[in-house]
Amino acid sequence: MARTVSVLCVFLWLLNGVHARRADAIPPADFPVVTARIYDANALGDGYVYLAVAGEVEGVGSYLMILDNEGALVWYKELANHYAFDFKMQPNGLLTYAQLLEHHTCPDGGNALHMVMDRDFSPIDSFQMADGYTAEARDFQWLPNGHALLFGCYLTEVASGGNSSVLIADGVIQELDANRNVVFQWRMGDHCDFHGGVWDAQDTDPVVDKSPLNSIGMDMDGHILIATPDWVGKISRHTGQILWHLGGEENEFAFVGVESEEAAGHFGGQAFHRLDDGNVLIYDNGDRSGIRSSRVHEYRLDETNRIAEHVWSYVPDPPIFGWYGGNAQRLANGNTFIGWGGGDGNHSPVCTEVTPDGRKVFELSFDDSAVESYRAYRFPLPADISGIGVTKQYVGVGDNEFRRGGIDTGVTVRVNSFTGTGYNVMGVVRTPLAPLYPTFEGCVPLVVPVRLQIGANGIITIDARISLDTASFGLRAPETLTIYHRDSQKSGPFRALATSYDPVGGKLCADITEFGELTIGRPDSENVP
C-alpha cells in the first residue's frame, strides 16, 4: 500500500527555490577590490562568479565570495582561520570549499577539511580522509550517487635506489561511500616509479613532494580521471592500474589535428575532466619560465586505439602565466569559464569567459595583484535552482502527461488502477540536481544528477507506469539505465524498480506502486568493490 505524499509539501519545496532572491552584500573593509569587464553581455553564460581568497595578503582577509557580472558582491563568508581553496557547487546543489587547517604539511596542498554548506549557506557537514591520511585542499568531488572522491598524501621512505634519508610525500586517492567507509583506495607510489624523470629521488631535502595530484573525477565508465603537473590519465577502480597516460614522458596516444611536439605541452594538467559529449577538457598551467602561457585544451579521445584528436584551444593574448591552481568549466551555452589560478605575481585576471570561437566575453581581476583564487567557477545561486512542476486534478485511469503551457516535465504516468477519491491531485517536480545523501539497496549505481518528486492528495493506493522522455532528460544509453525510488528526500535507501526502455517512443519506463522521490542510474563498473 502506498503512503500518500502531500502535493502541497512537494510544491512548497519547489516554490522555496522559485521565490528565493539574492540580496546585495556590503563588503568589509579588508575585502579584496575587484574589477569586472563585460565585453558582450548577450553572450554570457548564466550564473555568478564563485571565488575564494587563496593566500595570505597583507590587508586582505580570507573570504569566500559570490559576485555578479559587474563585480558586485552577492554573498560572502569570512574565514576565521586559514584561507580556502576550491569553492564550488556540487552536483547535489550543496556548496563545498576546502578549509586549510595547516599550510604545506605534506608539503604543498596542506591539511584540509572539505566543508559543506546548504542552500542557505549554513554549514551542515564536512569531509576528511579515512585511515589517518591527510586530505589535500586541491580537489573534492561529491558524486551524484552519494559517494565522495578525495585525495591527500602520506610520508613514506624511498623503497630503493634513492637517498634513504629522504621521505617521500606520496599521493593517495580514496573513494568514500555514504557512510564514509573507504570503498576504493589508490596510492601513486604503488603504481608509479619514484625514480627517474619527475620521480627522481636523489634529492637531499628531508621531505620531497612526489604526490602531484591536482584533480580527480569519476569518468562515465566508473573509472577515475586524474591530473598531475606533467600528464593526465585514467585509473582502473578494479585493479588500481593506470589504464593510460596522456602527455608526459609515458604518453600512449598519437595526436591528430596538432603536431605531436606541440601537443606534448598541453597536459600540464591542473584540471582534467570529461564533458557531456564525451570529449575531455584540460586546464594547462603552462610553465614557470614565462615562455608557455597557461591555456585550455579540448580533445576527443579514442581510448581503444590511443588516438587523441585536438578539438579546441584557448590561448590568452597577452599570455597569462598562472603556473599553479586554475581550472576550466564548460558552461551550458557552450562557453568556457576559466580560472587562471596564480603564480606569476603580475596583474593577471582571476577568471575569463570565452565563446566557442575564442571570443572573450567576460573577465574579472583582483585590483591587488597579490590576491589569488585557487580556482574560479560560474554557478547559479543555490536558492535560484528550482525544479519545474506540474499538477493535474482529477487524475483517472489512463495516461497523464505532466506538462502545461511551456512547462514540460518529460513525465507521463499511466494509471492502471487506484483507490481514493475522484477529487484528487497529482504533482510532479523535476529538479536538475543529484539526490541529497542517497543510499541504495544492493549495488550502488552511477547516478544521473536529477531528482523527481511525485506526490498526490486524494489517492491512497496506486498501480501505475511512469515514463520518462529520454530526449527531455538528456539521457545517454537509456537501455542501460534503471529508475530508483525512495519514500522521500533523505529518507531510507533507494531501491531499483523493474525498468525497461522503449526505443520507438524514446521512453524509460518503470512500474510504481508508491509516490516519493525518483532518480536514475546505470550499473557501476563490474567488479568494483
Taking only the tens of pLDDT, the chain with its 529 residues reads 333 334 434 443 343 333 333 455 688 999 999 999 999 999 999 999 999 999 889 999 999 999 999 999 999 999 987 899 999 999 999 999 999 887 655 655 568 999 999 999 999 999 999 998 889 999 999 999 999 999 988 877 765 455 566 677 788 999 999 999 999 999 988 887 655 434 444 555 666 666 678 999 999 999 999 998 889 999 999 999 999 999 988 899 999 999 998 898 899 878 999 999 999 999 998 876 678 899 999 999 999 999 999 999 999 999 998 888 999 999 999 999 999 998 766 778 999 999 999 999 999 999 999 999 999 999 999 999 989 999 999 999 999 999 999 899 999 999 999 999 889 999 999 999 999 999 999 999 999 999 999 999 999 999 999 999 999 999 999 999 999 999 988 788 999 999 999 999 999 999 999 999 999 999 987 655 5
Tell me which residue of 200, 215, 331, 195 sits closest to 268, measured CA to CA: 215
pLDDT at 324: 87
CA distance 456 to 426: 4
Q: How far apart are CA 19 and CA 386, in angstroms?
A: 9
pLDDT the model gives residue 127: 97
Q: What angle do CA 382, 388, 469 make, to 5 degrees?
A: 120
205: exposed, middle or buried (Cβ count in 10 Å: 0-12, 13-18, 19+): exposed
Give me the domains of the chain, ranges plus CATH numbers.
21-380 (2.120.10.30), 388-522 (2.60.220)
Q: What is the pTM of this model?
A: 0.91
Handedness of CA 371, 373, 378, 379 (dihedral sign): negative
Amino acid in position 58: E
In order, the DSSP letters of 388-430 are EEEEEES--SEEEEEEETTEEEEEEEEEEEEEEEEEEEEEEEE
Q: What is the pLDDT, as a whole number, of residue 26?
A: 81
Tell me the three cell numbers of residue 335.
Answer: 562557453
Amino acid, single-letter form, for residue 499: T
C-alpha 61, offset from chain centre:
27
Q: Which residues of 378-396 are buried (b: 16+ CB within 10 A; e: fewer)?
A: bbebbbbbbbbbbbbeebe
Sign of the Cα torsion 508, 513, 515, 520 reads negative
Query: The dihedral of CA 413, 419, 425, 429: what is its sign?
Result: negative
Residue pair 462/513 in contact (Cβ under 8 Å)? The answer is yes
Q: How many CB atoms lie within 10 A of CB 373?
A: 32
